[in-house]
Amino acid sequence: MNTSLHDRHIEPQILAGLNGDNWHLADYVKRGGYDALKKILNDKITPEFIIAELKVSALRGRGGAGFPTGLKWSFMPRLFPGQKYLVCNSDEGEPGTFKDRDILRYNPHALIEGMIIGGYAMGISVGYNYIHGEIWAEYERFEEALEEARAAGFVGQNILGSGFSFELHAFHGYGAYICGEETALLESLEGKKGLPRFKPPFPASYGLYGKPTTINNSETFSAVPWIIRNGGEAFLKVGKPNNGGTKIFSISGDVTYPGNYEIPLGTPFAKLLEIAGGMRDGKKLKAVIPGGSSAPVIPAEAMMATNMDYDAIAKAGSMLGSGAVIVMDETRCMVKSLLRLSYFYFEESCGQCTPCREGTGWMYRVVHRIEHGQGRMEDLDLLNSVADNIQGRTICALGDAAAMPVRAFIKHFHDEFVYHVEHKHCLVPTYV
């Protein structure tokens, strides 16, 4: 873990006081771990009460869309008599995002406890944690923690003699970005190719093996025990209205101390930058991608005036997404940055829908020719037109994720793209 996390975090709820050695069950219990679950089972707290607390807390899904978790849990038909499933999304393939693997590594029991509480609140007896296929150590760590929880009677049949049973399994995924999209994840979990499904039907009615399923991100589940221990109101107060709690930001790029920082939602971006040690080598900030590669880029001035929460970032024209903050300094070429992003989406498109399959390839090729001195002025309109023809016309949101950065880069750094076309080389002289 980035050591700077420990001395720099502010009011952390998930990554608090962790040093890499204290992930075990005994350490977690010392920190108040499994108290929330014990309280629920001993005091026979009702599922309705848990969901109401989540609604009060304004916990929003940490996987990207920021959907209110309490509301999502209320969609699960709890009294449906057949099999239902709970799924944790630890796929984490979005470029710039590296927070969920730290949860698996340093605080796996918070995630496990959050899932068991989810199972109880939604009347679900089986859960899976889908872990990105390229991370082995974290998968093994989670398996070890699960074993500890099972041996202590927190997972399995008749948990702590309460009559409530919840089986939880780890599933090592396939390492494809698209497998993080919830319906592709379900296909993959069923042993099939990770191809997104049409929605509706949504997973709450037709999920894993066609059964009602709730899917949440690892960080979302990990926040739940704190909420139950301290109350929804306390969580809400840590953040700001409609944006409860802390959020883990994975900050990377041109900062002095890249790493994960857990800070209250609503913290000014300028403060987060300061916590990460400021700009590396004293360079000037040029732009920030505030929520993972899918989030539209924001120029420096606007970013410095923005707070880090879902609503403020949306107001600034982007998305908080997964909380992956990619910082770019004055030496970064925006055409080259867009080229890298376009290539990623072109590579990762699953190919099911024509606008995404063909459009991502076209966007990559057009940005490639601009970057390599063969661009035409019409290419800027062409790129916007291809983006228009992808966005909102595909089965899943990967199409939108590919189109939105293209529009934002051209909008905010138009002069730099024009310079590339006219001069056939980069405007940024010190670019390396």
Contacts with ligand SF4, residue ranges (CB under 6 A): 178, 196, 349-353, 356-357, 394-396, 398-399
Alpha-carbon span 260 to 4, nearest angstrom: 9
Which of 65, 195, 300, 304 is close enough to bind ligand FMN by CB under 6 A?
65
When asked if residue 239 is in the footprint of ligand FMN (CB under 6 A), the reply is no
CB of residue 252 to ligand SF4, shortest distance in Å: 24
CB of residue 63 to ligand FMN, shortest distance in Å: 3
Q: Provide the token pair at 44.
A: 């026979």
Which of 122, 146, 178, 251 is close enough to bind ligand FMN by CB under 6 A?
178
Residue closer to ligand FMN by CB (options 114, 317) is 114
Alpha-carbon span 421 to 160, nearest angstrom: 67
CB of residue 94 to ligand SF4, shortest distance in Å: 13
Location of structure tokens 């990990």: 222
Which of 93, 203, 290, 375 is close enough to bind ligand FMN by CB under 6 A?
93
CB of residue 267 to ligand FMN, shortest distance in Å: 20
CA distances from 153 to 29, 42, 221, 276 (A): 13, 14, 20, 40
CB of residue 220 to ligand FMN, shortest distance in Å: 3
352 contact partners, CB below 8 Å, separation of at least 6: 195, 196, 395
User: Which of ligand FMN, ligand SF4, none is residue 220 near (CB under 5 to 8 Å by kind)?
Assistant: ligand FMN
Bridge partners for 86 per DSSP: 127, 214
Which of 181, 254, 371, 379 is close enough to bind ligand FMN by CB under 6 A?
181
When asked if residue 182 is in the footprint of ligand FMN (CB under 6 A), the reply is yes
295 closest CA partner among 341, 242, 331, 243: 341
| CB neighbourhood size of 421 (10 A) | 18
Residue closer to ligand SF4 by CB (options 111, 178) is 178
9 contact partners, CB below 8 Å, separation of at least 6: 15, 16, 261, 262, 263
Alpha-carbon span 231 to 169, nearest angstrom: 28
Amino acid code (one letter) for 317: G
CB of residue 278 to ligand FMN, shortest distance in Å: 29
Residue closer to ligand SF4 by CB (options 181, 309) is 181
Instruction: Please report, as ranges, the residues that interact with ligand FMN according to CB under 6 A.
Output: 61-65, 67, 72, 89, 91-94, 177-178, 180-182, 215-217, 220, 396-398, 401
